């Protein structure tokens, strides 16, 4: 039972905030790997943009269509 005069012990977990060391690959293989990673990131961005436009534009277009239908416009 806690009477007010006792102090509660706190347990603090120790964590490391340092990032893991990068693997250094010398020569052309390292440059090719970096280039492939950059290309994959670029392709991800390029292919993501149309889906983002559809995800945002479709609900807006449907809402406008609903409001026009409610208003009696064609």
> Which domain covers residue 61, as residue numbers?
43-74
Q: Would 32 be classed as within a structural domain?
A: no
Q: Would 31 be classed as within a structural domain?
A: no
d(CA 73, CA 24): 64
Q: Would 13 be classed as within a structural domain?
A: no
**pLDDT tens-digit profile of 25-47?**
788 888 888 899 999 999 999 99
Percent pLDDT > 90 in the chain is: 46
Q: Would 50 be classed as within a structural domain?
A: yes
Please say if the pLDDT value at position 5 is more than 70.
no
Number of domains in the chain: 1
Q: Can you count the helices (H) and strands (E) in the chain?
A: 1, 0
d(CA 58, CA 62): 6
Q: Would 48 be classed as within a structural domain?
A: yes
Q: Whole-prediction pTM value?
A: 0.47
Q: Would 65 be classed as within a structural domain?
A: yes
């Amino acid at each position: 039972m806690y009477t007010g005069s006792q102090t509660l012990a706190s347990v603090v977990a120790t964590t490391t905030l340092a990032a893991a060391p990068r693997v250094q690959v010398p020569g052309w293989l390292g440059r090719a790997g970096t280039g492939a990673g950059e290309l994959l990131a670029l392709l991800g961005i390029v292919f993501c943009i149309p889906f983002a436009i559809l995800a945002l534009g479709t609900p807006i277009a449907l809402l406008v269509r609903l409001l026009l239908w409610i208003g009696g416009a064609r």
